[in-house]
Amino acid sequence: MKPTLLLKDMGGSSPELTISQSLRGPEPLRTISVTSGKGGVGKSNIVVNLGLALAHQGHKVLLIDGDLGLANLDILLGLTVQFTIHDVFSLRKSLSEVLLEGPAGLKVLPASSGIPELADLDGPRKIFLLDELDHYAGEIDVVLIDTGAGISRNVLFFNIAAGERIVVANNQPTSITDAYALIKVLVTRHGKKRFQLLVNGVSHSGEAESVYRTLLRVAERFLGRETTLEYLGFIPHDEAIPKAVMKQQPVLKLYPQAPASKAFTALAQRIWEVTPQGGINGNIKFFWRRLLQPSGL
């Protein structure tokens, strides 16, 4: 399996990037969106458990709840939210006042209900956010973003800003069609060409690979050969996940021996073994800048 990251995704060279790279040493920040066309395919559970698995493996992880309308990372982690990303957007709170600490030192940037548009943030708010994020340079080496489902502007914002995109689908035809629709918008309107597919909720690898082949076939036919959709693997259907959700704990924490938990651990390893092509995503401020000033939206 070949790595995914595109240097050109970062919008060309940047002096800021060069400086931050030399300050941060050889470990660049990775920003990974976990996204889907169809809702309810398992994104939030994947973000929480993959984040926890990465933290167990020694990484400094920030989870961003990018589902600004239907936030629920905090619920899945059993965290009490006092302030949210909206308080940062509206200049009421600093990032450090809003960030929560989850298990194994996970940092979580929670959202809340209501659908603010990232596009509506004005200049001073954007600058405030960028400055706030500067404090965390070096304290985070991977950002996982739960984007919410669909092709709304906020979903697209996070997917454009992320250096890597994990598209989640299950074996339902609608989930495959909707994954295709999302990929198509990101390719045709925003020039994204590389995606990784993670299949969730299937019973065996053959089923997952069949989902991958179906999506790949349509994507190749309609989007051209230069679009890369890589197969990242699958998380099995596992009743331990809804059981853990009911208890507001990650399945990996509550049932570490469950098949899904083992799959999350293996997935975290695989993601880290696959070094992004070009090797860099930039620093956290750079990520936020791409988020707040995307092209073509």
Mark the segment that binds ligand ATP (CB under 6 A) among 172-180, 217-225, 235-243, 282-290: 235-243
Q: Which stretch binds ligand ATP (CB under 6 A): 33-41, 85-93, 124-132, 215-223?
A: 33-41
The total number of residues shown for the chain amounts to 297
Instruction: Examine residue 237 and tell whether it contacts ligand ATP (CB under 6 A).
Output: yes
Q: Which of ligand ATP, Mg ion, none does residue 98 bind (CB under 5 to 8 Å by kind)? A: none
Return the residue matching tokens 């993670």.
198
Segment contacting Mg ion (CB under 5 A): 16-24, 36-44, 55-63, 131-139? 36-44
283 binds Mg ion (CB under 5 A): no
Site track 183-212 with ligand ATP (rule: CB under 6 A), x = hit: -----------------xx-----------
CB of 138 to ligand ATP, least distance (A): 30
Q: Please provide the DSSP assignment of 200-249 as one string.
A: EEESSHHHHHHHHHHHHHHHHHHH-TT-EEEEEEEEE--THHHHHHHTTS
3-class state of residue 233 by DSSP = strand
Taking the least distance from each CB to ligand ATP, the nearer of 24 and 243 is 243
> Is residue 271 within 8 Å of 59, Cβ to Cβ?
no
Nearest CA to 62 among 36, 90, 95, 14? 95
Cβ atoms of 177 and 189 within 8 Å: the answer is no
What is the dihedral sign for C-alpha 146, 150, 154, 155? positive
Q: Which of 5, 9, 37, 42 binds ligand ATP (CB under 6 A)?
A: 42
Quote the CA–CA distance of 50 and 269 in Å, as a whole number: 10
The nearest distance, CB 44 to Mg ion, in angstroms, is: 3
Is residue 241 a contact residue for ligand ATP (CB under 6 A)? yes
Residue of 205, 197, 207, 180 lying closest to 231 (CA atoms): 197
Beta-carbon contacts of residue 273 (< 8 Å; ≥ 6 apart): none
Residue 245 makes contact with ligand ATP by CB under 6 A: yes
Token pair 């992320």 in the structure block, residue? 162
Task: Report if residue 44 touches Mg ion, rule: CB under 5 A.
Answer: yes
Q: DSSP per residue over 105-125, as a string?
A: G-EEE---SS---GGG--HHH
Among 260, 267, 268, 292, binds ligand ATP (CB under 6 A): 260
- Which is nearer to Mg ion, 44 or 200 (by Cβ)? 44
- Cβ neighbourhood burial of 273 (10 Å; 0-12, 13-18, 19+): exposed
User: Cβ distance 164 to 3 under 8 Å?
Assistant: no
Rounded least distance, CB 177 to ligand ATP, Å: 15
Looking at the Cβ atoms of 133 and 156, the one nearer to ligand ATP is 156
Q: Which residue in 18, 19, 39, 275 binds ligand ATP (CB under 6 A)?
A: 39
Residues near ligand ATP, by CB under 6 A: 36, 39-45, 67, 70, 148-149, 200-201, 235, 237-238, 241-242, 245, 260
Residues near Mg ion, by CB under 5 A: 43-44
